[in-house]
Structure 1
C-alpha cells in the first residue's frame, strides 16, 4: 500500500490515547513529524480551526491536507499502511476477539479504573477499587478464552495472542501503565498478584506488555504521571 509523503503527529505525553499512536509508530517504523499540544491549557485557535475542533490528541495530518482523529482509528490507519507489522491477526475470529478485548476494557474496566484513580475521597476511592477488581476478574477470563490457531505460540503470560504483539495489547498498554495511579493519590495499595491471585494471568500479561520497547517509549516516568495526575485530581 502506498503511504503518504508526510505525517504530522499531534501529541502530548500525559495522554494515554496519544500513547497508542506512539506505540503504533514504533511498531510500524513509520516516520513522522511531532507537534506537542498542551492539553493542560486551552487549545490554540489554529489547532481547533485547522486540526481538531474538539481539541483532542492524538491527531494525524496527512500530506498537509487530511486529518485523522481518535486513537484507535490512528492505530488502524498505521496498521493498514504496514501489514507487515502484524498488528491485526489474519484469522477472522482472532481479529474479532482482539477488537472485543479492547472494547470490553474500554467499556467495563477503564471507567471504573478512572473512578478509583480520580476520586479524592478515600472511602469512595476504596469502593471503586473493589469494583475495579471485580471488573478485572471478568476481563482476566477473556485473556484465556482467545481462539488459537496452529501457528500460535501457546505460552502463558505472553501477549493476548501468545507470542504476537497485536492491536489488543497495543491499545490497552497505556491504561495498564497507569493502573498504579489507583494508589498514587488516595493512599490505597497498588493492586498486586499477592493480594489478588485470581488475577495472575492479568498481571503476567500486563508485565509482558510493559517490557515491550515500543510501550516503554510511549510511557512517561511515574513521577511525571503522578505530578500530572494530582493536578487533575485537585
Structure 2
C-alpha cells in the first residue's frame, strides 16, 4: 500500500492523540501536522470536514479519506509498516494486545483518574488504595504475556520489542506521576509496592522510549495544565 500524503490533526496535550504521534515516530512515516486547540471550541471546518465530534486525533489520507479514533489511527499507521513489528503476527499475542489495552482503558486508567483528580484527601486516599489493587491485577497480565521462542527477554510486554500494546498505553504512563500532585496522595513506587515489580519495570522502559518522550509534554507543563483544568 502506497500512501501519498498523511495529515495528522493533533493536540500536544491529549494522551489519546499521542498514540498516533508515537506510531508515526516508530514507523518513521512522513506526515504533516495540523494543531487543534482543545481549550477553545473547534473551528467549523474541523467539525464539517474532519470530525463532527471535534475530537483528536484524526488522520487525513491522500487529501480525501479520514481515519478517526486514536486506536484506529495508530493501527492504520502500524499496518502501513508491517516491518516495524508494532502489530504482532501471532494470533495469541494480538489477542493479548487487544485485551491489555482494553483492560487499561476500562479498569486501570479510570482508577488512576479517580485517585488523581479527586480533591478531597480522604476520598483520594481511598481511591489510591483501589488503584493499587487494580495495578496488582494489571501486573499479573504483564507477567502472563505469551512469548514466542523467537522473543528475546526484555522489559516490554512481549520482551525486547516495543509493540502496539506498549504504544497505546504509553501516553497514560507518562501521566502516572500526577497521582501525588493535587490532593495529598502518596506516590505509588516499586519500593513501597514490591509486588508491582513487573509493572514498574515495564512502565520505566515505556516512558523512556524516545518516541514516547517526544510525544509527552514535560511533567511541569502537564501538572500546570491539569491544575488549571481542576480549577
CA distances 1:21-67 after superposition (whole Å, capped 9, x unpaired): 11000001001111111111111111111111111110011111111
* TM-score, length-scaled by structure 1: 0.96
Q: Give runs of aligned pairs for residues 71-220 of structure 1, distance below 5 A.
A: 71-155=70-154, 158-220=155-217
SS, match of residue 180 in structure 1? helix
- Which position in structure 2 is the counterpart of 1:63? 62
Alignment match, 2:7 = 8
**Alpha-carbon distance in structure 2 between the residues aligned to 1:201 and 1:170:** 17
Distance in 1 of aligned mates of 2:218 and 2:34: 20
Query: How many angstroms apart in 1 are the aligned matches of 2:45 and 2:31?
Result: 20
Structure 2 runs not aligned, ≥5 long: none
1:133-168 CA-partner distances (Å, limit 9, x unpaired): 10000000011111111101134xx10000010000
Moved over 2 A (4+): none
CA distance in 1, matches of 2:150, 2:62: 38
Query: Given the alignment, which residue of 215, 218, 222 partners 2:219?
Result: 222
Partner Cα separation in structure 1 for residue 153 and residue 11 of structure 2:
36
Q: How high is the TM-score relative to the length of structure 2?
A: 0.97
**RMSD over aligned Cα atoms:** 0.9
- By how many angstroms is 1:185 displaced? 1.3
CA deviations over 1:87-115 (Å, ceiling 9, x no partner): 01111111111111111111110111111
SS at match of 1:159: coil
C-alpha separation in 2, matches of 1:96 and 1:165: 16
Distance in 2, matches of 1:14 and 1:230, equals 13
Distance in 2 between residues matched to 1:231 and 1:45, nearest whole Å: 26
| Structure 1: unaligned runs, 5 residues or longer | none
CA distance in 2, matches of 1:48, 1:82: 29
